A = this chain, B = another copy of it.
Amino acid sequence: MSAAGIDIGGANLKGARDDGLVVTRPFPLWREHDGLPQAVEELLAALQPFDRLAVTMTGELCDCYANKEEGVLHILASVEEAAETTPNVWLIDGGLSSIEMARAEPLRAAAANWHALATWAAGLEGNGDSLLVDVGSTTTDIIRLVAAAPNCGGLTDTERLRSGELVYTGVRRTPVCSILEEADLGGKASPLAAEHFATTLDIWLLLGELSEDPACLST
């Protein structure tokens, strides 16, 4: 029996198999949500062969969906359509559960991927009392692990923003105008244009910590 896990994000699809195979691909869910079943099918093909499948997600918060429930249900339906095996779904307060439970209460499956990671990391030897820091493209998770389990100040995005365990800053997608009010230009303070012209990825480019990708034209 081998198992695969996939994470359906708003900008990226990720998959891993328990022998260490990892697959990721960019997928702009908020622009192309009709193409999700096809994209998941390609992700799963790259993860073959596997017997069991688990799903986490954050893509339900994309603004192509009227609300998170609609997003969770569409993502679950897309994965079911693409997969040959019935997937299990990670619930924020229930761990790995049946897809029927997720469909019955979609919000329990929303933004649960950090919790799956924290539960797994907390169970690793030597991680008994630790701090888990996961810096992603869009957000950063900071989670206390105590006695081999996540010790969280909140479960939903709103609660976690308040507790400081979800920091809405990442290495790629964060608009510069959301983290800086003004910049020092030649010794003079200059307010920024409140436009989506530059993101944190551009900061790393300018600092020389990343090299330019001529094919990357989106902001």
Contact = CB atoms under 8 A, between A and B. Distances in A.
A107 to B, nearest CB: 17
Contacts of A161: 190-193
A135 interface: no
B219 A63 contact: yes
Contacts of A179: 194
Nearest to A174: B194
A169 interface: yes
Interface string A153-170: 000011001100001110
A25 interface: no
Nearest to A180: B178
Interface residue range, chain A: 20 to 34
A216 interface: no
A136 to B, nearest CB: 12
Contact of A194 (B63, B175, B191, B195): B175
Given A177-B178, A178-B178, A219-B63, A158 B194 contact: no
